[in-house]
Amino acid sequence: MGVPQTMLDKLWAAHEVLRRDDGVSLLWVDRHLVHEGSHHAFAKIRERSLSVAEPALTFAVVDHYAPTRGRSQIADPRIARMIDTLRSNATAHGLQLFDLDDPQQGIVHVVGPEQGLTLPGLLINCGDSHTSTHGAFGALAFGIGATEVAHVLATQTVWQRKPKSMRITVDGTLGPGVSAKDIALYWIAKLGTDGAQGHAVEYAGSTIESLSMEGRMTLCNLSIEGGARLGMVAPDETTFTYLEGRSYAPKAADWQAACADWTALASDEGAGFDREVQIKAAEISPTVTWGTSPEQALPISAAIPDPADVAPEKAAAARAALDYMGLTAGQTLEGTPVDQVFIGSCTNGRIEDLRAAAAVLRGRKAKVSGMISPGSTQVDAQAKAEGLDRVFTAAGLDWVGSGCSMCVGMNGDLVGDGKRCASSTNRNFKGRQGRGARTHLMSPAMVAAAAVTGTLTDVRPLLRGRGA
């Protein structure tokens, strides 16, 4: 018997081609996902007269600039140019492209899993920090920069230094109205945005085991906001049930063999981690950010802290956040008026997220404007088949097409200057959703509660009697 290994150890060893004297590894890449923002990398390989090394392992997706309205006639020439550039690059190199009119189009981190491109044991790269989402399947998945994207395009390999290992164990049953989004915001607020700096986070414990794949993806997606290089969850029956029958998943006899291999990816009993964190699910409440960093988050029932009471090294950031957000120390989060709401993104734009929000909105009217952008065209179709789109539109909210949309605002979907938005997205940085936009991060159900009341609101009373 050898030394017990973590899942990170196993995945890293399986993909390591060689290791330099300085400890940096050359890793084989199984899936490379590209989008409109990858144009710099394509330009780099074109300058060197290089081609894509493994076109069959590279998949292009229109998502960051994807218009959520008027796709047949894109009004903004800048947006049209970005999308056309991706099309040209995909055509030139023979890549499969999930284009605007493709029934499989959507946000890259939604499309990968739902097509079965994302599988346990794979190394997955994309020029996007939230590539960590795919780690929910027991994949080694992390975002890379433009130069690294070019290297992967040309060689199908990437140079990386192995991160330290960290395990966050969450045990117990989540309370009503508490979701994976709340778990993530809770631990990030507890440990800080640098709490997992330089680590690969493996999530474990009974709470994690009980999460759906959608919940696990949300958790791994937000690992980046806590400073982690990546997040991951060991594959299990929940994983296999989600993947079976998907387009790119193994079929027939290969399926059983694959499941056996994937089961062996879990960390060995007794494997050592560089850091261990224990969390009790009962400690977690519906959580909302109050500032301009994901770590500036509190239970909805809490009051906004006084900068004088926070750690000295974080006091200046707290003061700046309060000023930007137009909030006052001691003010309660609950009851803070909002101007609009947004549900979508690679964090919370999946079918489970839409169902959770619809459970709150059904039969109610929104007091503020808002937008719902499904994470993919397939999510859109499933939501419509279940009548979820009609729940949102009956409440007075806009149902639009799939894409990154208001999460990053590259497609023109923006929050107005000085306006306050309850959002299911992943970042609340200054200007993230538009110049002067004030973003409060929360779960889709909490966003729906804000829509119904026009304020930051505890969703739990609104769920009573609704079987949620």
Count of structural domains within the chain: 3
Question: Which CATH number goes with the domain that contains 272?
Answer: 3.40.1060.10
Q: Which of 125, 168, 129, 130 is nearest to 148 (CA)?
A: 125
Residues 64 and 98 in one domain: yes
Residues 135 and 188 in one domain: no
Structure tokens at 402: 């799939």
Is 179 among the domain residues? yes
Residues 72 and 22 in one domain: yes
Give yes or no for a contact between 402 and 68, defined as CB atoms under 8 angstroms apart: yes
∠ CA 375-294-396, rounded to 5°: 45
Residues 294 and 440 in one domain: yes
Residues 175 and 152 in one domain: no
Residue 467 has pLDDT above 90, yes or no: no
Residue 307 three-state SS: helix
**Strand stretches in 300-442, DSSP E:** 340-343, 369-372, 398-399, 420-423, 438-441
Q: Which of 187, 206, 242, 227 is nearest to 352 (CA)?
A: 242
pLDDT digits (tens, 9 = 90+) for 283-332: 999 999 999 999 999 999 999 999 999 999 999 999 999 999 999 999 99
Residues 62 and 198 in one domain: no
Task: Report the pLDDT value the prediction gives residue 1, as an integer from 0 to 100.
Answer: 64
Task: Report the pLDDT value the prediction gives residue 69, as an integer from 0 to 100.
Answer: 94
Predicted model pTM: 0.97
Question: Which CATH number goes with the domain that contains 386?
Answer: 3.30.499.10
Is 336 among the domain residues? yes
Task: Report the pLDDT value the prediction gives residue 272, as an integer from 0 to 100.
Answer: 97
pLDDT digits (tens, 9 = 90+) for 96-147: 999 999 999 999 999 999 999 999 999 999 999 999 999 999 999 999 999 9
Give yes or no for a contact between 97 and 194, defined as CB atoms under 8 angstroms apart: no
Residues 272 and 324 in one domain: no
Of the chain, the percentage scoring pLDDT greater than 70 comes to 99
Residue 83 has pLDDT above 70, yes or no: yes
**Which pLDDT band, with edges at 50, 70 and 90, does 72 fall under?**
confident
Task: Report the pLDDT value the prediction gives residue 466, as an integer from 0 to 100.
Answer: 77
Residues 14 and 116 in one domain: yes
∠ CA 382-383-389, rounded to 5°: 150
- Averaged pLDDT score across all residues of the chain: 97
Is 254 among the domain residues? no
Give yes or no for a contact between 231 and 208, defined as CB atoms under 8 angstroms apart: no
Residues 102 and 87 in one domain: yes
Helices 351-361 and 444-453, axial angle in degrees (round to 10): 30
Task: Report the pLDDT value the prediction gives residue 465, as an integer from 0 to 100.
Answer: 84
Is 251 among the domain residues? no
Domain of 218, in residue numbers: 164-236+267-283
Residues 341 and 450: their CA atoms lie apart, in Å, by 7
Q: Taking residues 452-458, what's their average pLDDT? A: 98
Single out the residue in 101, 135, 161 at which a domain terminates.
Answer: 161
Residues 274 and 145 in one domain: no
Q: Taking residues 194-208, what's their average pLDDT? A: 97
Is 241 among the domain residues? no
**Which pLDDT band, with edges at 50, 70 and 90, does 468 fall under?**
low
Residue 435 has pLDDT above 80, yes or no: yes
pLDDT digits (tens, 9 = 90+) for 246-290: 999 999 999 999 999 999 999 999 999 999 999 999 999 999 999
Single out the residue in 133, 161, 189 at which a domain terminates.
Answer: 161
**Which pLDDT band, with edges at 50, 70 and 90, does 455 fall under?**
very high
Residues 297 and 415 in one domain: yes
Whose tokens are 């284009």? That residue is 99
pLDDT digits (tens, 9 = 90+) for 26-53: 999 999 999 999 999 999 999 999 999 9
Task: Report the pLDDT value the prediction gives residue 198, as an integer from 0 to 100.
Answer: 96
Residues 183 and 96 in one domain: no
Q: What is the DSSP letter of 163?
A: P
